[in-house]
C-alpha cells in the first residue's frame, strides 16, 4: 500500500464507470451522502469492512468540508483499474484553505476543538489519498478505496 | 383597465378554478378560496393600473408576494400538492388573458405586449409560490426531525442501578445533547450507578461520533456513574483502530449481553439457574 501511495495518482490508467455528484451545505446532507456512497460500494460488491472504512472516511471528509469550508461539492465515481474496481470520492470546497498541510496531516492536530484525527485517520482508512489546498481558494481532497484494498 | 373589470375577473377566475379537476373541496371550501383569491387580486390590481402596465418591471410587488407566500404556506400545511398550488396561480393567467383579449381585440400589437408582460409577471408569481411552498414543506420536515430525535433516544432501566441506552442512527451534535440530557437526568432520577450505551444501531463511527461518545462517558463519570459502551461490531472496531481513536479508557463490550454481565459483576450480582448450587462457595 505504501508503494502505491508514492505513485503519481493522476497518471495511473483509470476508467470511470459511473459518476454522481452531490452538493453538501448543511449537516442534514451528511447521512444521505453516506447512504449514497454505501449504495455504490454495495453495488460493486465491496465487503462490509471496506464499506465501513470508506463510509467512515467519507463521513470525516464531509464533516471537515462543512465545518471548515462551509460546505462544497462531492463527486462519487465508480472506477476500475485493470481488474480491480473501486470507489473514488472527491470533495471540493471553497473555504479558507489549509495553510500547512503537513501539520494538518499529523495525528492530534486540530484548529477546531475536535480530536484531530479526521485527515490522518482518513488516510489510513483508504488506499489512495490526495489533498490539494490553496489558502483563500479552497481545498480538494480525493480518496480511492479499492474493492479488495 | 383591470380595475373596472375586477368583479368579472374574480368570477371568471373562480369559474376556471371550479372547472379544474384539481379543485380540492375536501381541503378548502369555495367561500374560503374566493376570499383568498379576492384578497390576492385586490393587492395585485392596486399595483396593476394602466400606467403600471406600461412599466411593469419597476413596480414593487412586495405586498402581492407576501400574500402569495401566505397562501402558499397555508396550502402546504393543509396538504395541497405542489401541482394544485401551481395550477391555482396559473389559472389566474388564463383568466387575465381572456379579459385582455376582450378588451384589446382591436389592437393586436398592444394585446401582444401586455400579454407578454402579464405572462412574465404570473410566471414570477409561480416561482415565488413554489419557493414558499417548498419552504412550508421543509418546515414540516424539520419538525419531524425534531420529533425523531426526541423519540429515538429512550433511556431504559434494565435492572436496579443499571440503565441502558440504545442509540440508533447517527450521533450528531444535537442528538448527543439530547442523549446526554436524557441519560444524566435518568441517572439522577433512578440513582443508577451504571449506564450502558449500545451503539449497535449506529451505522458508522467517525471521529466526531467518537468524540461525542467520549464526552458522554466523561459526563456520566462526573455524575459518579460508570459507563459501558456495547454493540461494537467487528468492522466498526477495525475502523476505529485505523482512524486512531483511543477508546482504551472506556469499558467497551461487543454485545449488550456482555455489557450487562460486566455490570452485574461490578454490582456484585449473580444470576443463576434455580436450584443450582455453586459448590465453590
- Per the document, the length of chain A is 149
Q: Which residues of B touch A124 (CB under 8 A)?
A: 242-244
Q: How confident is the model at residue A105 (pLDDT cuts 50, 70, 90)?
A: confident
Domain ranges of chain A: 2-6+14-146
Residue A114 contacts B where some CB pair is shorter than 8 Å: yes
ipTM: 0.72
- Higher-scoring residue by pLDDT: A116, B56: A116
Q: What is the pTM of this model?
A: 0.65
Domain range B156-266, CATH class: alpha beta
Residue A55 contacts B where some CB pair is shorter than 8 Å: yes
pLDDT at A1: 47
pLDDT at A29: 84
Q: pLDDT exceeding 90 applies to what percent of chain A?
A: 34
Q: Which of A25-34, A135-144, B1-10 is least confident?
A: B1-10
Give the mean pLDDT of A92-105: 87
For domain B6-149, give its CATH number from 1.10.260.40, 2.30.110.10, 1.10.490.130, 1.20.1090.10.
1.10.490.130
Q: Transcribe A85-137 into DSSP letters.
A: EEEEEEEEE-SS--S-HHHHTSTT--SSSS-S-HHHHHHHHSSEEEEEEETTT
Q: Which residues of A touch B172 (CB under 8 A)?
A: 27, 30
For the purposes of burial, counting CB atoms within 10 Å of the CB of A23, is it exposed (0-12), middle (13-18) or buried (19 or more)?
Answer: exposed
- CATH architecture of the domain with residue range A2-6+14-146: 2-Layer Sandwich (3.30)
Q: Tens-digit pLDDT profile for chain B (281 aa)? A: 666 777 777 777 777 777 765 556 666 777 777 888 888 888 777 777 666 666 666 667 777 888 888 888 888 777 777 788 888 888 888 888 888 888 788 888 888 888 888 888 888 888 888 888 888 778 888 888 777 766 667 889 999 999 999 988 777 777 788 888 888 999 999 999 999 999 998 888 888 888 888 888 999 999 899 999 999 999 999 988 988 888 888 999 999 999 999 999 999 988 888 877 666 65
Is A48's CB within 8 Å of B235's CB? Answer: yes
- Higher-scoring residue by pLDDT: B124, A141: A141
Domain ranges of chain B: 6-149, 156-266
Enumerate long-range contacts of A6-14, CB under 8 Å, 24 or more apart: A9/A128, A9/A130, A9/A142, A9/A144, A12/A81, A13/A81, A14/A79, A14/A80, A14/A81, A14/A88
Amino acid at each position: 500500500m505504501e508503494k502505491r501511495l508514492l505513485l503519481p495518482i493522476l497518471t495511473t490508467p483509470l476508467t470511470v464507470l459511473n459518476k454522481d455528484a452531490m452538493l453538501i451545505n448543511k449537516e442534514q446532507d451528511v447521512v444521505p451522502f453516506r447512504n449514497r456512497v454505501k449504495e455504490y460500494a454495495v453495488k460493486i460488491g465491496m465487503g462490509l469492512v471496506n464499506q465501513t472504512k470508506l463510509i467512515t472516511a467519507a463521513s470525516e471528509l464531509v464533516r471537515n468540508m462543512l465545518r471548515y469550508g462551509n460546505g462544497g461539492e462531492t463527486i462519487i465515481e465508480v472506477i476500475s483499474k485493470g481488474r480491480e474496481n473501486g470507489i473514488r470520492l472527491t470533495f471540493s470546497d471553497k473555504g479558507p484553505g489549509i495553510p500547512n498541510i503537513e501539520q494538518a496531516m499529523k495525528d492530534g492536530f486540530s484548529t477546531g476543538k475536535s480530536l484531530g484525527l479526521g485527515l490522518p485517520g482518513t488516510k489510513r482508512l483508504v488506499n489512495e489519498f490526495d489533498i490539494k489546498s490553496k489558502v483563500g481558494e479552497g481545498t480538494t481532497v480525493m480518496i480511492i478505496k479499492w474493492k479488495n484494498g | 383597465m383591470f380595475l373596472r373589470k375586477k368583479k368579472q375577473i374574480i368570477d371568471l377566475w373562480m369559474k376556471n378554478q371550479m372547472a379544474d379537476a384539481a379543485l380540492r373541496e375536501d381541503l378548502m371550501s369555495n367561500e374560503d378560496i374566493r376570499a383568498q383569491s379576492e384578497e390576492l387580486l385586490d393587492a395585485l390590481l392596486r399595483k396593476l393600473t394602466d400606467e403600471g402596465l406600461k412599466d411593469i418591471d419597476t413596480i414593487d410587488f412586495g405586498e402581492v408576494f407576501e400574500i402569495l407566500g401566505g397562501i402558499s404556506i397555508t396550502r402546504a400545511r393543509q396538504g395541497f400538492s405542489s401541482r394544485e398550488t401551481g395550477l391555482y396561480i396559473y389559472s389566474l393567467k388564463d383568466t387575465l388573458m381572456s379579459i385582455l383579449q376582450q378588451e384589446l381585440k382591436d389592437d393586436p400589437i398592444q394585446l401582444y405586449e401586455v400579454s407578454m408582460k402579464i405572462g412574465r409577471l404570473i410566471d414570477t408569481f409561480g416561482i415565488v409560490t413554489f419557493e414558499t411552498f417548498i419552504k412550508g414543506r421543509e418546515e414540516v420536515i424539520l419538525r419531524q426531525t425534531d420529533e425523531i430525535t426526541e423519540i429515538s433516544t429512550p433511556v431504559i432501566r434494565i435492572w436496579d442501578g443499571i440503565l441502558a441506552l440504545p442509540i440508533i442512527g447517527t450521533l450528531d451534535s444535537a442528538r448527543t445533547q439530547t442523549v446526554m440530557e436524557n441519560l444524566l437526568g435518568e441517572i439522577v432520577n433512578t440513582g443508577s450507578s451504571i449506564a450502558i450505551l449500545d451503539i449497535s444501531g449506529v451505522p458508522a463511527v467517525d471521529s466526531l461520533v467518537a468524540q461525542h461518545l467520549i464526552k458522554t462517558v466523561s459526563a456520566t463519570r462526573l455524575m459518579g456513574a460508570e459507563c459501558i459502551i456495547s454493540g461494537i461490531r467487528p468492522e466498526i472496531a477495525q475502523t476505529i483502530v485505523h482512524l486512531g481513536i483511543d477508546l482504551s479508557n472506556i469499558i467497551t463490550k461487543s454485545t449488550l449481553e456482555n455489557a450487562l454481565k460486566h455490570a452485574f459483576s461490578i454490582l456484585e450480582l449473580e444470576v443463576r439457574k434455580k436450584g443450582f448450587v455453586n459448590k465453590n462457595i
